[in-house]
Amino acid sequence: MGHGPRYRGPKMDAGFVPKVSIRVCVSEKDKPAAVEAILGAARTGEVGDGKIFIYPVAEVIRVRTGETGAAAL
């Protein structure tokens, strides 16, 4: 036998939908518009449309300038 890969069973398509992870950080006032934009672009009504997780951000610092808070967004 050769030294190539060995498979224990047949390859099959399990029906998974490819996923994309998008991470955005917006100000509190822009949160509703950002959520609506994501829903409008991503919703197909099919399984696999995804989820939106919303987390509070404790602090933001722009590395290049040292700006913090809303100015760093």
Residue 5 within a domain = no
Q: Pick 36 or 49 by higher pLDDT.
A: 36
Average pLDDT of the segment spanning 26-43: 93
What pTM was computed for the model? 0.65
For residue 72 the two structure tokens come to: 């760093």
* pLDDT computed for residue 20 by the predictor: 81
Range of the domain at 38: 28-72
Residue 23 within a domain = no
* pLDDT computed for residue 7 by the predictor: 56
For residue 5 the two structure tokens come to: 């890969």
Residue 2 within a domain = no
Which residue type is seen at 26? V
Q: For the chain, what is the domain count?
A: 1
Contact criterion met (CB below 8 Å) for 45 and 55: no
